[in-house]
Structure formats: C-alpha cells, structure tokens
Amino acid sequence: MTTSDTNIQLYLVTDEAACLGRDLLWVVEEAVQGGVTMVQLREKTLGTRAFIERAKRLKDILLPYQVPLIINDRVDVALAADADGVHVGQSDMPFEILNKMLPPEKIIGISVENERDVLEAEQWDISYLGVSPLFETPTKTDTKVPWGLEGLRRISEQSKHQLIAIGGINLTNAGSVMQYGASGIAVVSAICSATSPYETAFRLKSMLQSQAISD
C-alpha cells in the first residue's frame, strides 16, 4: 500500500473550540467509532510540548482502530509523536523540504487554494489534496475564494491526486460533494459540534459509502 491508497473518505479535522465544551479526545473517539477514517490534529495555540503530548495521547486512542493521525502544520510534532503524517497549507513548510524530512511511508496532504497550487502539486507524490475551502465557513474565515462544486469538478478533471474537500461540508451537502469528484470529505464543525459525534459520523459515513456504491 502506498500513501496515495490511504482511506481518507471521512476525515475529521479537530478544533477544540468547536467541541461545545466537551473533551476533544472524547469527541474524536466517538467520531472514530461512528466511522471516521482519518484524523488531523489541528492546534493553533498549544505550545510545542503540550502539542506533542496531545498528539501522543490521540495516537494511543486511534491505534486500536487503525485510524491514521495527521498533524497540521508541524512536522517536528509529527516526528516527535510518530504520527502517520502531516498536512500543510500553502504558507507552511514547502513540500520538497517536508518530503526530505519525513520517512517515505508517512502521509503528506497539501491544501490547494487556486489553480496554480493544483498544477504545482501535480509534480509531487502526495497522498491527497485538500480542496480548501469548498464553501465559505464560519470555522475558518481567513480563507481564499471558495472553490464551489464546479471548481471541485474542474480540479477532479485535472488532477491525479485524491481530492479531499473541506469547508462548510455537512450531512445536507456531503452527497453532492462526492458527485462533483471528491474522494472524501474533511469536516470540523459537522462532527465536533454535533450533539452526537458518533451518530453524525455514522450518518456521514453511510452517505459516503452509498455514494461510492452508486458510482
């Protein structure tokens, strides 16, 4: 199995602020039991040591479920916690350097915000492209212009990579996102802020699976 075969169908990106005061690790485990296939630990305020500690605890939780742990932005934290990979944006560590720093089996995901980013990423052996943002979202307001469903379709016609759409995706629109060429969806609030993260992950997963079967 190469990293590009990784099952990223239902990707949970964490945000403690979206968890309605509940413990983030509890929310993640519920979601994984419901069907999440990959988790990205995204921490913008933790110090390095606390970030590593949290990553290690999350890794211990995810291990029995065989769900990969991806670290947002911080290759040093990913290496320290022996996480399964790193997700970077366009202003983070450049791919060529990241690729040298990480062992070859690690997953690397990159956000693409415009057509130029997509073209550039075609030359790289990356695990997936994060199509960011697909729709406007209150969870992240410093984003570029949303791709929209037609933008997603355009990328899917050009790119060899798995496409994971992120931004404003929920139970209502997840089905159409898949119809427009995504191989998976990444969500924050749809799961972190759900009354039952388990139930919502389960319903999202069932929807994605039925979509895959009808293809």
Give binding residues as ranges.
40-44, 72-73, 92, 111, 137-140, 168, 188-189
DSSP 67-98: --EEEES-HHHHHHTT-SEEEE-TTSS-HHHH
Instruction: Give the shortest CB-92-to-Mg ion separation in angstroms.
Output: 4
Q: Quick one: which segment of 78-86, 89-97, 99-107, 137-145 binds Mg ion (CB under 5 A)?
A: 89-97
Residues whose CB falls within 8 Å of the CB of residue 127, separated by 6 or more in sequence, listed in order: 3, 4, 6, 8, 85, 107, 108, 109, 161, 162
φ, ψ of residue 98 to 5 degrees: the values are -55, -45
| Residue of the chain from 7, 89, 95, 175 that contacts Mg ion (CB under 5 A) | 89
φ, ψ of residue 69 to 5 degrees: the values are -110, 125
Does residue 162 interact with ligand TZP by CB under 6 A?
no
Residue 92 binding result from Mg ion, ligand TZP, none, given CB thresholds of 5 to 8 Å by partner type: Mg ion
- Looking up tokens 């993640």 gives 28
Does residue 43 interact with Mg ion by CB under 5 A?
no
| Residue of the chain from 53, 76, 92, 199 that contacts Mg ion (CB under 5 A) | 92
Q: Nearest to residue 17, comparing CAs of 204, 196, 188?
A: 188
Does residue 34 interact with ligand TZP by CB under 6 A?
no
Does residue 12 interact with ligand TZP by CB under 6 A?
no
Pick between residue 103 and residue 189 the one whose CB is nearest to ligand TZP.
189
Q: Which two tokens stand for residue 28?
A: 């993640």
| Residue of the chain from 8, 190, 194, 208 that contacts ligand TZP (CB under 6 A) | 190
Does residue 76 interact with Mg ion by CB under 5 A?
no
Does residue 137 interact with ligand TZP by CB under 6 A?
yes
Q: Scan residues 43-82 and list those touching ligand TZP (CB under 6 A).
A: none
| Residue of the chain from 27, 164, 177, 188 that contacts ligand TZP (CB under 6 A) | 188
Return the half-sphere exposure (C-beta side, CA atoms, 13 A cut-off) of residue 43. 21
Instruction: Give the shortest CB-59-to-ligand TZP separation in angstroms.
Output: 20
The distance of Cα 199 from the centroid of its chain, to the nearest Å, equals 19
> CA angle, 167 as apex, 159 and 29 as ends, to 5°?
105
- Pairwise CA distance, residues 184 & 176, whole Å: 11
- Pairwise CA distance, residues 71 & 51, whole Å: 10
List interacting residues with Mg ion (CB under 5 A).
Answer: 73, 89, 92
List interacting residues with ligand TZP (CB under 6 A).
Answer: 13, 132-133, 137, 139-140, 143, 166-169, 187-190
